[in-house]
Amino acid sequence: MKILVINSGSSSLKYTLFNMADESVIFAGTFDRIGLEGPTHAYRSQDGNRSAHTSQIRNHGQALDELLHTLTGGPLESLGDLSAVAHRVGHGGKYRNAVRITPDVLSEIRRMTPMIPLHHPAMIMEIEECRVRMPDAVHVAVFDTWFHRTIPDKAAIYGLPYKYFKERGYRRTGFHGNSHAYISAKAAEFLGRPLEELKVITCHLGNGASVCAIERGRSIDTSLGMTALEGLIMGTRAGDLDPGLMPVIMKEDSLTPDDVIGMLYRDSGLKGISGVSSDMREVEAAAEQGNHRAHLALDAFCYKVKRYVGAMLMVLGGCDVLVFAGGIGRNSPTVRQKVLEGSEGLGFSLNEHANHSRRAYADNPVVDISGDASKVKVLVIRTFEELMMARQCMEVIEGKSGREHA
Ligand code: AMP
């Protein structure tokens, strides 16, 4: 059973080919800078061969052509070897569990584009191109929202007139489900305890970021909402706002709804505050050199994570394990330290040496950075969203999933 997992961004396309017999990665790669100057394609095969080169591709369709050429010239004899293709989709609307992609599913994904305006167009384009190039493969959509289908109404509802909840279905659905599910399960496995016995807070901190409260293996609250904007300050996204501020700014600056979308999704967050970059490495470097705005962006980012961890602590009524993951959570000792400073009274403490020196890698994905006095285990985990996607895709193929709606 070979499954190809595809994760499309607006200017990137990541792919992983799995052998589901043992869940091993046969081949994985990334196209970057699609549609921009100097696109690249980097990949590695199971036997350790790596390649990184500048590519001629100009759009996602051409990236797929190169991808399929690369796969059939190496790990696959033909595309007929593929059992299925799993596509990452931000929001499935009424669909939560992974499903086979049909015209109805595609139109529901399209309907949800206003909720995920930056990501969905690239995801939809990629699915359409794949269906043309691989007409005989089973195509499965795996939604970022699936893990949060257990969030109760009291946490999901917005304080708006009831019709928006009841008639339009506007509720907090959350994202990064594959990551929160994977890292919570991995934490339980590392601790040698059943996940069902644990209260877990997971912090997926990457370009997009969210915190999740997990009880008995089920998400009961998360910081992201119905769109990809709520909650934490992100790379270019604003996170929580006072909703009353938006009409004020719109009037003052004569902004259209599309201008506001651009501002909140592309020009805010770390980038908007720091004026330096959306990339945490560059923000940290500028802060170290004394850049005031970069310092403020770093502090504000960490403060927001701290605030949500505190909220989830109350939601869960305590916490056994706190997990950091995502590009920032996994790689930034500074962020982890700032999030946890002053929380000793709540049972959190860090082993400073471990926090600075130990790293989570593919062959050592879980690192314990808890201090001796810590009542809560603090772990850094390398997330593996693609594996969760491949597993869900398998369930659809085997008929164990895909019939259930939200
Ligand atoms: P992701 O979206 O999970 O790929 O994460 C991307 C984010 O991780 C970017 O903001 C990167 O700057 C950040 N990141 C990657 N490596 C580091 C690092 N060593 N220190 C701080 N942030 C990092």
Q: What is the pLDDT of residue 278?
A: 94
Cα 350 to ligand 1 centre (Å)? 21
What would the mean pLDDT of 189-203 be, rounded to a whole number? 98
- Of the listed ranges 55-69, 209-223, 312-326, the least confidently predicted one is 55-69
139 plus 231 within the same structural domain: no
Name the domain count of the chain: 2
Q: What is the pLDDT of residue 362?
A: 86
Q: Is residue 84 a part of any domain in this protein? A: yes
Q: Is residue 164 a part of any domain in this protein? A: no
138 plus 198 within the same structural domain: no
CB 271, CB 254: distance < 8 Å: no
242 plus 381 within the same structural domain: yes
235 plus 117 within the same structural domain: no
Q: Is residue 394 a part of any domain in this protein? A: no
Q: What is the pLDDT of residue 403?
A: 47
What would the mean pLDDT of 73-98 be, rounded to a whole number? 92
What would the mean pLDDT of 237-248 be, rounded to a whole number? 97
Cα 63 to ligand 1 centre (Å)? 24
Q: What is the pLDDT of residue 400?
A: 77
> If pLDDT is split at 50, 70 and 90, which confidence band does 37 have?
confident
Q: Is residue 381 a part of any domain in this protein? A: yes
**166: three-class secondary structure by DSSP:** helix
CB 86, CB 101: distance < 8 Å: no
228 plus 364 within the same structural domain: yes
What would the mean pLDDT of 389-397 be, rounded to a whole number? 96
Euclidean distance between CA atoms 117 and 22, whole angstroms: 36
Indicate which atom in ligand 1 lies nearest the CA of residue 335: 21
Q: What is the tens place of the pLDDT at every residue in 260-308?
A: 999 999 999 999 999 999 999 999 999 999 999 999 999 999 999 999 9
- 340 class by beta-carbon count within 10 Å (0-12 exposed, 13-18 middle, 19+ buried): buried
> If pLDDT is split at 50, 70 and 90, which confidence band does 190 have?
very high
> If pLDDT is split at 50, 70 and 90, which confidence band does 47 have?
confident
Q: Is residue 168 a part of any domain in this protein? A: no
Euclidean distance between CA atoms 268 and 275, whole angstroms: 9
Whether the model pTM is above 0.75? yes
236 plus 354 within the same structural domain: yes
Q: To the nearest whole number, what is the mean pLDDT of the chain?
A: 94
Q: Is residue 178 a part of any domain in this protein? A: no
Q: What is the pLDDT of residue 402?
A: 56
Q: What is the pLDDT of residue 406?
A: 36
261 plus 327 within the same structural domain: yes
Q: Which domain holds residue 301?
A: 193-385
Pocket probe for ligand 1: among 12, 175, 301, 328, the residue whose CB has the most ligand atoms within 8 Å is 328
333 touches ligand 1 (CB under 6 Å): no
Cα 339 to ligand 1 centre (Å)? 16
Q: Is residue 112 a part of any domain in this protein? A: yes
CB 93, CB 168: distance < 8 Å: no
125 plus 199 within the same structural domain: no
139 plus 197 within the same structural domain: no
Residue 38 is part of a domain; what is its CATH number?
3.30.420.40
Q: What is the pLDDT of residue 329?
A: 98
Positions marked active-site: 144
Indicate which atom in ligand 1 lies nearest the CA of residue 208: 2
210 touches ligand 1 (CB under 6 Å): no
202 plus 95 within the same structural domain: no
206 touches ligand 1 (CB under 6 Å): yes
209 plus 351 within the same structural domain: yes
Q: What is the tens place of the pLDDT at every residue in 123-142?
A: 999 999 999 989 989 999 99
